[in-house]
C-alpha cells in the first residue's frame, strides 16, 4: 500500500514545503510554480540538453553525403491536429480491493498542447517557459562546491 501512495504523498509534500532558495532567485519561466524538493538521485535522471546538430536537411545524409530528398510528393499526408487536450487521472486504490473498482478514480490535471505555437498548459496555466526549470533546480540545490 505504501508504494501506491508514495506519488500522492510526494505531491502533497510539494504543495506544503517551501523552497529553500531565496525569494529573489527565479527558475526558468519567472512566474512558474517553484520546484519544492527533488533528490540528488532524481536529478541524475535528467538528460542534459544538447542544442542543435540533428536538424533535418533535405538531400543531405547524417554523414554529409548527398541523398535523394525525403520530401518528394505522394504517400500519406498526415498532419498534426492544431490542439491536443487530455485529462490526467489517477486511481490510487485500483487493484487493492475489487469493491473500490473505479470509485477512487480522480482527475488531477487537464493538459493542452497547441501544435501551432508550441504552448502547453496544465489546468489553463501556461508552462511553456518552464522547460529548464527542473534542471536549474537540480543545479542550484545539488551542486558540489569547487575544490
pLDDT of residue 38: 76
pLDDT value of position 109 = 92
Q: In this predicted model, which residue has the larger pLDDT, 79 or 47? A: 79
Query: What is the predicted pLDDT for the residue at 32?
Result: 55
pLDDT of the residue at 137: 76
Q: Where are the alpha helices (DSSP H) in 2-48?
A: 2-16, 40-44
Q: Predicted confidence band at 112 (pLDDT cuts at 50, 70, 90)?
A: very high
pLDDT band of residue 63 (cuts 50, 70, 90) is: confident
Instruction: Write out the H or E segment, with its range, that includes residue 109.
Output: strand 106-114
Q: pLDDT for 1-14, tens place per residue?
A: 444 444 444 444 44
Please tell me the pTM assigned to this model. 0.43
CA angle, 31 then 36 then 41, to 5°: 125
Nearest CA among 110, 50, 57 for reference residue 85 = 110
Cβ proximity of 122 and 111 under 8 Å:
yes
Pairing of strands 125-126, 120-122: antiparallel
Is 49's pLDDT higher than 60?
Answer: no
pLDDT average, residue stretch 40-61: 71
Q: In terms of pLDDT, which residue wins out, 12 or 115?
A: 115
Quote the mean pLDDT of the chain: 69
Top pLDDT among 119 and 31 is at: 119
* CA 89/CA 109 separation, integer angstroms: 7
Rounded mean pLDDT of 122-128? 88
**Cell 540538453, residue located:** 49
Grid coordinates given for 144? 558540489
The three grid cell numbers given for residue 61, joined into one nine-digit string = 545524409
- pLDDT of amino acid 50: 55
| Rounded average pLDDT over 99-116 | 84
Amino acid at each position: 500500500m505504501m508504494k501506491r501512495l508514495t506519488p500522492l504523498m510526494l505531491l502533497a509534500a510539494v504543495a506544503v514545503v517551501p523552497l529553500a532558495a531565496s525569494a529573489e532567485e527565479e527558475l526558468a519561466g519567472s512566474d512558474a510554480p517553484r520546484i519544492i524538493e527533488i533528490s540528488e538521485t532524481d536529478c541524475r535522471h535528467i538528460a542534459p540538453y544538447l542544442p542543435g546538430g540533428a536538424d533535418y536537411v533535405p538531400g543531405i545524409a547524417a554523414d554529409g553525403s548527398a541523398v535523394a530528398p525525403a520530401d518528394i510528393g505522394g504517400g500519406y499526408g498526415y498532419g498534426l491536429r492544431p490542439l491536443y487536450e487530455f485529462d490526467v487521472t489517477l486511481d490510487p486504490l485500483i487493484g487493492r480491493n475489487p469493491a473500490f473498482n473505479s470509485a477512487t478514480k480522480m482527475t488531477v490535471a487537464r493538459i493542452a498542447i497547441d501544435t501551432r505555437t508550441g504552448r502547453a498548459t496544465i489546468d489553463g496555466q501556461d508552462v511553456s517557459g518552464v522547460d529548464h526549470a527542473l534542471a536549474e533546480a537540480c543545479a542550484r540545490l545539488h551542486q558540489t562546491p569547487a575544490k
